[in-house]
Amino acid sequence: MPFDIARTRAAYPALTEGFVHLDGAGGTQTATGVIDAITAAMRTAVGNRSAANVPGRRSLELVAEARSAVADLLGADPSGVVLGPSATALTYTLARTLGATWRPGDEVVVSRLDHDSNVRPWVQAAEAAGATVRWAEVDRHTGELPAAQYADLVGERTRLVAVTAGSNAIGTMPDVPAIAKTAHAVGALVYVDGVHSVPHGPTDLTSLGADVLVTSAYKWSGPHLAAMVADPARWEALHPAKLVPSSDAVPDRFEYGTPSFPLLAGVTAAVDHLAGLDPDAVGDRRARLRAGLAAAQAHEEALLDRLLAGLAERPAITVYGAPVRRCPTVSFRVAGMSPAATHEALGAAGFCLSVGDYYAYEYFRLMGLRDSGGAVRASIYHYNTADEVDRLLGELDALIDGAGRMAG
Ligand X SMILES: Cc1ncc(COP(=O)(O)O)c(C=O)c1O
Q: Is residue 172 within the footprint of ligand X (CB under 6 A)?
A: no
Is the Cβ of residue 8 or residue 172 nearer to ligand X in the bound state? Answer: 172
Q: Are 317 and 311 in contact (CB under 8 A)?
A: yes
Q: What pairs with residue 75 in β-bridges?
A: none
Q: Is residue 326 within the footprint of ligand X (CB under 6 A)?
A: no
Q: Is residue 158 within the footprint of ligand X (CB under 6 A)?
A: no
Q: How far is the CB of 220 from ligand X (least distance, A)?
A: 11
Q: How far is the CB of 24 from ligand X (least distance, A)?
A: 10
Alpha carbons 269 and 68: distance in angstroms, whole number? 12
Is the Cβ of residue 117 or residue 158 nearer to ligand X in the bound state? Answer: 117
- Residues 109-129: b if buried by 16+ CB within 10 A, e if exposed: bbbbbbbbbbbbbbbebbeeb
Q: Is residue 215 within the footprint of ligand X (CB under 6 A)?
A: no
Q: How far is the CB of 345 from ligand X (least distance, A)?
A: 23
| Identified binder of ligand X from the candidate list 115, 120, 253, 285, rule CB under 6 A | 115
Stretch that binds ligand X, among 123-131, 190-198, 374-382, 389-397 (CB under 6 A): 190-198
Going from the C-alpha of 68 to that of each of 74, 82, 227, 272, 384, the distances in angstroms are 10, 11, 11, 11, 29
Is the Cβ of residue 214 or residue 311 nearer to ligand X in the bound state? Answer: 214
Going from the C-alpha of 331 to that of each of 66, 76, 339, 369, 385, the distances in angstroms are 33, 32, 10, 11, 19
Is the Cβ of residue 92 or residue 102 nearer to ligand X in the bound state? Answer: 92
Name the packing angle between helices 285-312 and 54-74 (round to 10°): 50
Q: How many CA atoms lie within 13 A of 246 on its CB side?
A: 15
Map the footprint of ligand X across residues 217-276, applying CB under 6 A: 226
Alpha carbons 306 and 302: distance in angstroms, whole number? 6
Give CA 397 to chain center in angstroms. Answer: 30
Q: How far is the CB of 29 from ligand X (least distance, A)?
A: 15
Stretch that binds ligand X, among 150-158, 171-179, 189-197, 242-250 (CB under 6 A): 189-197
Q: Which of 7, 25, 3 is nearest to 380 (CA)?
A: 25
Q: How far is the CB of 228 from ligand X (least distance, A)?
A: 10
Q: How far is the CB of 1 from ligand X (least distance, A)?
A: 31
R_g of the chain, CA atoms, integer Å: 22
Is the Cβ of residue 163 or residue 289 nearer to ligand X in the bound state? Answer: 163
Is the Cβ of residue 116 or residue 137 nearer to ligand X in the bound state? Answer: 116
Q: How far is the CB of 76 from ligand X (least distance, A)?
A: 18
Is the Cβ of residue 49 or residue 200 nearer to ligand X in the bound state? Answer: 200
Q: Are 212 and 191 in contact (CB under 8 A)?
A: yes
Name the packing angle between helices 285-312 and 261-275 (round to 10°): 80
Q: Is residue 304 within the footprint of ligand X (CB under 6 A)?
A: no
Q: Is residue 342 within the footprint of ligand X (CB under 6 A)?
A: no
Write the binding mask 68 to 97 for ligand X: x where contact by CB under 6 A, - elsewhere: ------------------xxx---------
Is the Cβ of residue 200 or residue 285 nearer to ligand X in the bound state? Answer: 200
| Identified binder of ligand X from the candidate list 23, 193, 255, 300, rule CB under 6 A | 193
DSSP secondary structure letter of residue 121: H
Going from the C-alpha of 172 to that of each of 64, 169, 320, 347, the distances in angstroms are 33, 8, 11, 26
Q: Is residue 216 within the footprint of ligand X (CB under 6 A)?
A: yes
Q: Is residue 67 within the footprint of ligand X (CB under 6 A)?
A: no
Q: What pairs with residue 318 in β-bridges?
A: 333
Q: How far is the CB of 353 from ligand X (least distance, A)?
A: 14
Stretch that binds ligand X, among 115-123, 144-152, 335-343, 384-392 (CB under 6 A): 115-123
Would you put residue 152 in left (φ > 0), alpha (ψ -120 to 50) or beta? alpha
Helix, strand or coil, per DSSP, at residue 276? coil
Burial of 162 (0-12, 13-18, 19+ CB in 10 A): buried
Q: How far is the CB of 238 from ligand X (least distance, A)?
A: 20
| Identified binder of ligand X from the candidate list 97, 117, 182, 329, rule CB under 6 A | 117
Q: How far is the CB of 266 from ligand X (least distance, A)?
A: 14
Query: Which residues bind to ligand X, rule: CB under 6 A?
Result: 25, 86-88, 115, 117-118, 164, 168, 193, 195-196, 216, 226
